[in-house]
Protein backbone atom coordinates (compact mmCIF):
# COMPACT_ATOMS: atom_id res chain seq x y z
CA UNK A 1 0.00 0.00 0.00
CA UNK A 2 1.30 3.46 -0.81
CA UNK A 3 2.11 5.90 1.87
CA UNK A 4 -0.61 8.21 0.54
CA UNK A 5 -3.09 5.38 0.97
CA UNK A 6 -1.79 4.78 4.48
CA UNK A 7 -2.25 8.49 5.20
CA UNK A 8 -5.84 8.29 3.93
CA UNK A 9 -6.41 5.16 6.00
CA UNK A 10 -5.09 6.94 9.06
CA UNK A 11 -7.48 9.86 8.51
CA UNK A 12 -10.37 7.43 8.05
CA UNK A 13 -9.33 5.58 11.18
CA UNK A 14 -9.39 8.88 13.06
CA UNK A 15 -12.93 9.56 11.88
CA UNK A 16 -13.98 6.05 12.89
CA UNK A 17 -12.46 6.43 16.32
CA UNK A 18 -14.28 9.77 16.67
CA UNK A 19 -17.55 8.02 15.78
CA UNK A 20 -16.85 5.32 18.35
CA UNK A 21 -16.27 8.01 20.98
CA UNK A 22 -19.65 9.64 20.30
CA UNK A 23 -21.35 6.23 20.42
CA UNK A 24 -19.63 5.30 23.67
CA UNK A 25 -20.68 8.61 25.24
CA UNK A 26 -24.33 8.01 24.30
CA UNK A 27 -24.36 4.43 25.51
CA UNK A 28 -22.50 5.32 28.68
CA UNK A 29 -25.03 8.03 29.55
CA UNK A 30 -27.93 5.69 28.86
CA UNK A 31 -26.21 2.88 30.78
CA UNK A 32 -25.60 5.06 33.83
CA UNK A 33 -29.30 6.03 33.96
CA UNK A 34 -30.38 2.40 33.87
CA UNK A 35 -27.78 1.34 36.39
CA UNK A 36 -28.73 4.20 38.77
CA UNK A 37 -32.34 3.00 38.78
CA UNK A 38 -31.36 -0.64 39.17
CA UNK A 39 -28.91 0.25 41.88
CA UNK A 40 -31.57 1.94 43.94
CA UNK A 41 -33.94 -1.06 43.67
CA UNK A 42 -31.19 -3.58 44.42
CA UNK A 43 -30.03 -1.63 47.48
CA UNK A 44 -33.52 -1.92 48.92
CA UNK A 45 -34.20 -5.53 47.87
CA UNK A 46 -30.91 -7.31 48.22
CA UNK A 47 -28.82 -5.39 50.66
CA UNK A 48 -25.20 -4.37 50.63
CA UNK A 49 -23.80 -7.37 48.68
CA UNK A 50 -25.96 -6.72 45.65
CA UNK A 51 -25.29 -3.01 45.99
CA UNK A 52 -21.57 -3.68 45.65
CA UNK A 53 -22.15 -5.64 42.41
CA UNK A 54 -24.31 -2.86 41.03
CA UNK A 55 -21.60 -0.33 41.85
CA UNK A 56 -19.06 -2.34 39.82
CA UNK A 57 -21.52 -2.48 36.95
CA UNK A 58 -21.90 1.27 37.20
CA UNK A 59 -18.16 1.82 37.18
CA UNK A 60 -17.52 -0.13 33.94
CA UNK A 61 -19.35 2.13 31.46
CA UNK A 62 -18.10 5.17 33.41
CA UNK A 63 -14.51 3.98 32.97
CA UNK A 64 -15.04 3.38 29.28
CA UNK A 65 -16.45 6.87 28.97
CA UNK A 66 -13.35 8.26 30.64
CA UNK A 67 -11.02 6.33 28.32
CA UNK A 68 -12.81 7.35 25.10
CA UNK A 69 -11.32 10.29 23.18
CA UNK A 70 -12.98 13.61 23.80
CA UNK A 71 -15.40 14.82 21.14
CA UNK A 72 -15.00 18.03 19.14
CA UNK A 73 -14.98 21.28 21.09
CA UNK A 74 -17.40 23.84 19.70
CA UNK A 75 -16.32 27.51 19.74
CA UNK A 76 -18.27 29.99 21.81
CA UNK A 77 -20.55 32.35 19.84
CA UNK A 78 -18.75 35.47 18.68
CA UNK A 79 -15.25 34.05 19.21
CA UNK A 80 -13.32 33.80 15.87
CA UNK A 81 -11.59 30.56 15.03
CA UNK A 82 -7.80 30.56 15.27
CA UNK A 83 -6.28 30.30 11.78
CA UNK A 84 -3.35 27.91 11.21
CA UNK A 85 -0.40 29.75 9.61
CA UNK A 86 0.63 28.48 6.14
CA UNK A 87 3.90 27.17 7.56
CA UNK A 88 2.00 25.09 10.11
CA UNK A 89 -0.35 23.83 7.37
CA UNK A 90 2.64 22.65 5.40
CA UNK A 91 4.06 21.00 8.53
CA UNK A 92 0.83 19.03 8.99
CA UNK A 93 0.35 18.21 5.29
CA UNK A 94 -0.29 14.63 4.33
CA UNK A 95 2.99 13.42 2.88
CA UNK A 96 3.56 10.35 0.77
CA UNK A 97 6.22 8.17 2.35
CA UNK A 98 7.94 5.42 0.41
CA UNK A 99 8.81 2.76 2.96
CA UNK A 100 10.74 0.46 0.65
CA UNK A 101 11.70 0.47 -3.01
CA UNK A 102 12.13 -2.87 -4.75
CA UNK A 103 14.21 -2.89 -7.91
CA UNK A 104 14.32 -5.94 -10.22
CA UNK A 105 17.78 -6.23 -11.75
CA UNK A 106 18.87 -8.16 -14.83
CA UNK A 107 22.62 -8.42 -15.48
CA UNK A 108 23.95 -9.69 -18.82
CA UNK A 109 27.39 -10.32 -20.24
CA UNK A 110 28.58 -9.05 -23.66
CA UNK A 111 27.02 -12.13 -25.32
CA UNK A 112 23.60 -11.30 -23.87
CA UNK A 113 23.63 -14.18 -21.40
CA UNK A 114 22.29 -13.60 -17.89
CA UNK A 115 24.88 -13.44 -15.09
CA UNK A 116 23.94 -15.31 -11.90
CA UNK A 117 27.09 -15.37 -9.73
CA UNK A 118 27.04 -11.82 -8.32
CA UNK A 119 26.79 -11.18 -4.57
CA UNK A 120 25.20 -8.31 -2.69
CA UNK A 121 28.53 -6.54 -2.24
CA UNK A 122 28.94 -6.45 -6.04
CA UNK A 123 26.00 -4.04 -6.32
CA UNK A 124 25.59 -0.32 -5.62
CA UNK A 125 22.18 1.36 -5.74
CA UNK A 126 21.55 5.12 -5.96
CA UNK A 127 18.36 7.14 -5.43
CA UNK A 128 18.63 10.60 -7.02
CA UNK A 129 22.41 10.22 -6.92
CA UNK A 130 22.61 9.30 -3.23
CA UNK A 131 23.91 5.82 -2.47
CA UNK A 132 21.44 3.70 -0.51
CA UNK A 133 21.88 0.87 1.94
CA UNK A 134 20.66 -2.43 0.48
CA UNK A 135 18.18 -3.91 2.95
CA UNK A 136 17.06 -6.87 0.84
CA UNK A 137 18.94 -8.96 -1.71
CA UNK A 138 17.69 -12.05 -3.51
CA UNK A 139 18.36 -14.07 -6.64
CA UNK A 140 15.16 -15.61 -7.96
CA UNK A 141 14.03 -16.97 -4.61
CA UNK A 142 11.29 -14.60 -3.47
CA UNK A 143 7.74 -15.91 -4.01
CA UNK A 144 5.75 -14.19 -6.77
CA UNK A 145 2.28 -12.69 -6.88
CA UNK A 146 1.27 -12.45 -10.54
CA UNK A 147 -1.72 -10.88 -12.24
CA UNK A 148 -2.15 -12.15 -15.80
CA UNK A 149 -4.04 -9.59 -17.89
CA UNK A 150 -5.35 -10.91 -21.23
CA UNK A 151 -7.05 -8.97 -24.00
CA UNK A 152 -10.28 -10.70 -25.03
CA UNK A 153 -11.60 -8.18 -27.55
CA UNK A 154 -12.67 -9.19 -31.03
CA UNK A 155 -9.60 -7.34 -32.38
CA UNK A 156 -7.35 -10.28 -31.55
CA UNK A 157 -9.68 -13.08 -32.67
CA UNK A 158 -7.11 -14.52 -35.15
CA UNK A 159 -4.59 -14.94 -32.31
CA UNK A 160 -7.04 -16.06 -29.62
CA UNK A 161 -6.40 -19.80 -30.07
CA UNK A 162 -2.65 -19.23 -29.61
CA UNK A 163 -3.32 -17.31 -26.39
CA UNK A 164 -5.40 -20.19 -25.03
CA UNK A 165 -2.74 -22.73 -25.94
CA UNK A 166 -0.21 -20.69 -23.97
CA UNK A 167 -2.05 -21.41 -20.71
CA UNK A 168 0.06 -24.45 -19.93
CA UNK A 169 3.27 -22.48 -20.56
CA UNK A 170 2.16 -19.77 -18.15
CA UNK A 171 1.21 -22.24 -15.42
CA UNK A 172 4.47 -24.18 -15.71
CA UNK A 173 7.12 -21.58 -16.65
CA UNK A 174 5.79 -18.42 -14.98
CA UNK A 175 3.90 -19.70 -11.92
CA UNK A 176 6.33 -22.58 -11.30
CA UNK A 177 6.33 -23.81 -7.67
CA UNK A 178 6.35 -20.68 -5.48
CA UNK A 179 3.87 -18.36 -7.17
CA UNK A 180 0.27 -17.35 -6.82
CA UNK A 181 -1.64 -15.94 -9.78
CA UNK A 182 -4.90 -14.21 -10.67
CA UNK A 183 -6.38 -13.77 -14.16
CA UNK A 184 -8.11 -10.69 -15.60
CA UNK A 185 -9.54 -10.30 -19.09
CA UNK A 186 -10.63 -7.10 -20.79
CA UNK A 187 -12.64 -5.91 -23.76
CA UNK A 188 -15.47 -3.40 -23.11
CA UNK A 189 -15.27 -4.43 -19.44
CA UNK A 190 -12.58 -5.71 -17.09
CA UNK A 191 -13.47 -9.12 -15.68
CA UNK A 192 -11.88 -11.18 -12.92
CA UNK A 193 -11.59 -14.76 -14.18
CA UNK A 194 -9.58 -16.28 -11.34
CA UNK A 195 -8.82 -14.91 -7.88
CA UNK A 196 -5.32 -15.34 -6.46
CA UNK A 197 -4.54 -19.02 -6.24
CA UNK A 198 -1.53 -21.30 -6.04
CA UNK A 199 -3.31 -23.95 -8.13
CA UNK A 200 -1.82 -23.86 -11.66
CA UNK A 201 -4.54 -26.15 -13.03
CA UNK A 202 -7.32 -23.68 -12.24
CA UNK A 203 -5.34 -20.87 -13.88
CA UNK A 204 -4.65 -22.97 -16.96
CA UNK A 205 -8.34 -23.93 -17.20
CA UNK A 206 -9.43 -20.26 -17.04
CA UNK A 207 -7.02 -19.30 -19.83
CA UNK A 208 -8.06 -22.20 -22.07
CA UNK A 209 -11.78 -21.39 -21.61
CA UNK A 210 -11.56 -17.62 -21.88
CA UNK A 211 -14.56 -16.21 -23.83
CA UNK A 212 -14.03 -13.81 -26.71
CA UNK A 213 -15.54 -10.37 -26.10
CA UNK A 214 -16.54 -7.34 -28.12
CA UNK A 215 -14.69 -4.60 -29.98
CA UNK A 216 -13.56 -2.27 -27.16
CA UNK A 217 -10.23 -2.55 -25.37
CA UNK A 218 -9.98 -1.14 -21.82
CA UNK A 219 -6.26 -1.84 -21.52
CA UNK A 220 -5.35 0.90 -19.03
CA UNK A 221 -8.36 0.18 -16.79
CA UNK A 222 -7.36 -3.50 -16.71
CA UNK A 223 -3.78 -2.58 -15.80
CA UNK A 224 -5.01 -0.25 -13.05
CA UNK A 225 -7.17 -3.01 -11.56
CA UNK A 226 -4.28 -5.48 -11.69
CA UNK A 227 -1.99 -3.05 -9.86
CA UNK A 228 -4.67 -2.48 -7.22
CA UNK A 229 -4.94 -6.24 -6.67
CA UNK A 230 -1.17 -6.63 -6.39
CA UNK A 231 -0.91 -3.72 -3.97
CA UNK A 232 -2.94 -5.77 -1.48
CA UNK A 233 -0.55 -8.73 -1.56
CA UNK A 234 2.07 -9.13 1.20
CA UNK A 235 5.19 -7.02 0.74
CA UNK A 236 7.41 -10.10 1.03
CA UNK A 237 6.14 -11.27 -2.36
CA UNK A 238 7.42 -9.84 -5.62
CA UNK A 239 4.56 -8.20 -7.50
CA UNK A 240 4.38 -9.01 -11.20
CA UNK A 241 1.85 -8.13 -13.90
CA UNK A 242 1.97 -9.88 -17.27
CA UNK A 243 -0.13 -8.28 -20.02
CA UNK A 244 -0.93 -10.13 -23.23
CA UNK A 245 -2.61 -7.86 -25.77
CA UNK A 246 -2.30 -5.12 -28.32
CA UNK A 247 -0.69 -1.82 -27.37
CA UNK A 248 -4.02 -0.14 -27.97
CA UNK A 249 -6.58 1.31 -25.58
CA UNK A 250 -10.10 2.49 -26.34
CA UNK A 251 -12.39 3.90 -23.69
CA UNK A 252 -10.42 3.53 -20.44
CA UNK A 253 -10.99 6.06 -17.67
CA UNK A 254 -7.45 5.50 -16.41
CA UNK A 255 -4.49 7.21 -18.05
CA UNK A 256 -1.27 5.38 -18.74
CA UNK A 257 0.89 7.85 -16.81
CA UNK A 258 -1.27 7.51 -13.70
CA UNK A 259 -1.22 3.72 -14.01
CA UNK A 260 2.58 3.70 -14.20
CA UNK A 261 2.84 5.99 -11.16
CA UNK A 262 0.83 3.55 -9.11
CA UNK A 263 2.80 0.59 -10.44
CA UNK A 264 6.10 2.18 -9.42
CA UNK A 265 4.89 3.11 -5.94
CA UNK A 266 3.46 -0.39 -5.43
CA UNK A 267 6.72 -2.02 -6.63
CA UNK A 268 4.91 -3.75 -9.51
CA UNK A 269 7.01 -4.95 -12.44
CA UNK A 270 5.11 -5.08 -15.75
CA UNK A 271 5.96 -7.68 -18.38
CA UNK A 272 4.12 -7.63 -21.68
CA UNK A 273 3.59 -9.74 -24.77
CA UNK A 274 2.51 -7.53 -27.66
CA UNK A 275 -0.01 -8.95 -30.11
CA UNK A 276 -0.31 -7.73 -33.67
CA UNK A 277 -2.98 -8.79 -36.14
CA UNK A 278 -3.82 -7.72 -39.67
CA UNK A 279 -6.72 -5.67 -38.28
CA UNK A 280 -4.43 -3.95 -35.80
CA UNK A 281 -1.79 -3.28 -38.43
CA UNK A 282 -4.34 -1.70 -40.76
CA UNK A 283 -5.88 0.43 -38.02
CA UNK A 284 -5.19 4.08 -38.86
CA UNK A 285 -2.76 5.90 -36.61
CA UNK A 286 -2.68 9.67 -35.99
CA UNK A 287 0.11 11.52 -37.77
CA UNK A 288 1.58 12.78 -34.49
CA UNK A 289 2.09 9.29 -33.06
CA UNK A 290 5.74 8.36 -32.62
CA UNK A 291 6.29 4.68 -33.46
CA UNK A 292 9.97 4.65 -32.45
CA UNK A 293 10.16 6.56 -29.16
CA UNK A 294 12.91 6.57 -26.56
CA UNK A 295 11.03 4.25 -24.23
CA UNK A 296 12.80 5.23 -21.00
CA UNK A 297 12.50 8.95 -21.69
CA UNK A 298 8.83 8.57 -22.59
CA UNK A 299 8.21 6.46 -19.48
CA UNK A 300 9.70 9.15 -17.24
CA UNK A 301 7.65 11.85 -19.01
CA UNK A 302 4.39 9.94 -18.59
CA UNK A 303 5.03 9.19 -14.92
CA UNK A 304 5.84 12.84 -14.21
CA UNK A 305 2.80 14.21 -16.05
CA UNK A 306 0.29 11.39 -15.55
CA UNK A 307 -0.74 11.62 -19.23
CA UNK A 308 -1.45 9.05 -21.91
CA UNK A 309 1.16 7.99 -24.45
CA UNK A 310 1.03 9.28 -28.01
CA UNK A 311 2.70 6.16 -29.29
CA UNK A 312 1.80 2.73 -30.59
CA UNK A 313 4.15 1.21 -27.97
CA UNK A 314 2.18 1.65 -24.75
CA UNK A 315 2.98 -1.81 -23.43
CA UNK A 316 6.68 -1.43 -24.22
CA UNK A 317 6.68 1.87 -22.33
CA UNK A 318 4.92 0.26 -19.35
CA UNK A 319 7.53 -2.49 -19.19
CA UNK A 320 10.42 -0.03 -19.50
CA UNK A 321 8.95 2.17 -16.75
CA UNK A 322 8.89 -0.68 -14.23
CA UNK A 323 11.99 -2.69 -15.12
CA UNK A 324 10.11 -5.43 -16.95
CA UNK A 325 10.43 -6.84 -20.45
CA UNK A 326 8.28 -6.35 -23.57
CA UNK A 327 8.22 -8.97 -26.32
CA UNK A 328 6.66 -8.28 -29.72
CA UNK A 329 5.32 -11.58 -31.02
CA UNK A 330 5.36 -10.55 -34.67
CA UNK A 331 8.98 -9.49 -34.91
CA UNK A 332 10.47 -11.69 -32.22
CA UNK A 333 8.79 -15.00 -31.45
CA UNK A 334 5.57 -16.87 -30.74
CA UNK A 335 3.35 -16.20 -27.74
CA UNK A 336 4.39 -19.45 -26.07
CA UNK A 337 8.10 -18.72 -26.55
CA UNK A 338 7.69 -15.17 -25.24
CA UNK A 339 5.93 -16.35 -22.06
CA UNK A 340 8.54 -19.05 -21.53
CA UNK A 341 11.39 -16.52 -21.76
CA UNK A 342 9.63 -14.16 -19.36
CA UNK A 343 9.21 -17.01 -16.88
CA UNK A 344 12.90 -17.84 -17.11
CA UNK A 345 13.86 -14.23 -16.39
CA UNK A 346 11.45 -13.88 -13.47
CA UNK A 347 12.87 -16.88 -11.63
CA UNK A 348 16.51 -15.92 -12.15
CA UNK A 349 16.70 -12.14 -11.71
CA UNK A 350 18.22 -10.22 -8.82
CA UNK A 351 15.96 -8.26 -6.47
CA UNK A 352 17.31 -5.32 -4.51
CA UNK A 353 15.33 -3.53 -1.81
CA UNK A 354 16.19 -0.31 0.02
CA UNK A 355 14.51 2.32 2.19
CA UNK A 356 14.92 5.84 0.77
CA UNK A 357 16.37 8.38 3.17
CA UNK A 358 15.44 12.06 3.32
CA UNK A 359 12.65 14.34 4.53
CA UNK A 360 11.59 15.75 1.16
CA UNK A 361 10.56 12.81 -1.02
CA UNK A 362 8.20 14.49 -3.51
CA UNK A 363 9.09 14.57 -7.20
CA UNK A 364 10.70 12.07 -9.50
CA UNK A 365 13.36 9.78 -8.05
CA UNK A 366 15.88 8.29 -10.46
CA UNK A 367 17.12 4.80 -9.59
CA UNK A 368 20.54 3.67 -10.74
CA UNK A 369 22.07 0.25 -10.09
CA UNK A 370 25.72 -0.50 -10.92
CA UNK A 371 27.94 -3.55 -10.52
CA UNK A 372 31.66 -3.60 -9.85
CA UNK A 373 32.42 -6.13 -12.58
CA UNK A 374 33.37 -4.66 -16.00
CA UNK A 375 31.66 -5.27 -19.36
CA UNK A 376 28.29 -6.15 -17.87
CA UNK A 377 25.00 -4.48 -18.75
CA UNK A 378 22.41 -3.78 -16.04
CA UNK A 379 18.65 -3.35 -16.57
CA UNK A 380 16.38 -2.12 -13.77
CA UNK A 381 13.45 0.21 -13.25
CA UNK A 382 14.30 3.85 -14.05
CA UNK A 383 12.71 5.36 -10.94
CA UNK A 384 9.46 6.35 -9.26
CA UNK A 385 7.38 9.48 -8.75
CA UNK A 386 6.03 10.80 -5.45
CA UNK A 387 3.38 13.49 -5.72
CA UNK A 388 3.69 16.68 -3.61
CA UNK A 389 1.99 16.55 -0.19
CA UNK A 390 -1.74 17.22 -0.11
CA UNK A 391 -2.84 19.93 2.38
Of the candidates 338, 318, 163, the residue with the CA atom closest to the CA atom of residue 245: 163
Q: How crowded is residue 241: how many other Cβ atoms within 10 Å of its Cβ?
A: 28
**365 belongs to a structural domain:** yes
DSSP-assigned beta bridge partners for residue 221: none
d(CA 142, CA 240): 12
Q: What is the CATH number of the domain that holds 256?
A: 3.40.50.410
Q: Provide the residue range defining the domain that includes 114.
A: 101-138+351-386
In this structure, the answer to whether residues 324 and 297 fall within a common structural domain is yes
The per-residue pLDDT for 113 is 94
Of the candidates 102, 103, 133, 105, the residue with the CA atom closest to the CA atom of residue 378: 105
In this structure, the answer to whether residues 178 and 40 fall within a common structural domain is no
User: Does pLDDT of 107 surpass 60?
Assistant: yes
In this structure, the answer to whether residues 146 and 123 fall within a common structural domain is no
The per-residue pLDDT for 57 is 39
The per-residue pLDDT for 176 is 86
Count up the domains in the chain and report the number: 3
Strands (E), the chain: 101-108, 123-127, 130-132, 134-139, 144-151, 179-186, 190-197, 238-245, 268-274, 326-328, 350-354, 363-371, 377-379, 383-386
Averaged confidence pLDDT in the chain? 76
**pLDDT per residue as tens digits for the range 274-325:** 987 654 454 434 444 444 457 777 677 677 776 666 556 889 999 999 999 9
Q: CB of 329 within 8 A of CB of 276?
A: yes
**245 belongs to a structural domain:** yes
In this structure, the answer to whether residues 317 and 195 fall within a common structural domain is yes
In this structure, the answer to whether residues 376 and 341 fall within a common structural domain is no
d(CA 76, CA 92): 25
The per-residue pLDDT for 248 is 87
**pLDDT per residue as tens digits for the range 44-54:** 344 444 343 44
Amino acid sequence: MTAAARGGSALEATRVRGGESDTLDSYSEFGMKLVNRGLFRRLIRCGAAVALAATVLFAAPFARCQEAPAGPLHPRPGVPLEQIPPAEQQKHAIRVRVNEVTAPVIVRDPKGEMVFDLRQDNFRVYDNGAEQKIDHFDVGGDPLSIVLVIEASSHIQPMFPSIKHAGIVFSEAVMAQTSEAAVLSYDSTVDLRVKFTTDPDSVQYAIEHLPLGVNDSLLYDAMARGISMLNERPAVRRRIMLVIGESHDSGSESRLGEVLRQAQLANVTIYSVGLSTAMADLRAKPDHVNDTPDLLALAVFLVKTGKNALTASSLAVASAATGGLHVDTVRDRSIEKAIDNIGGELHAQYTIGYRPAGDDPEGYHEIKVVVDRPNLSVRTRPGYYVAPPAL
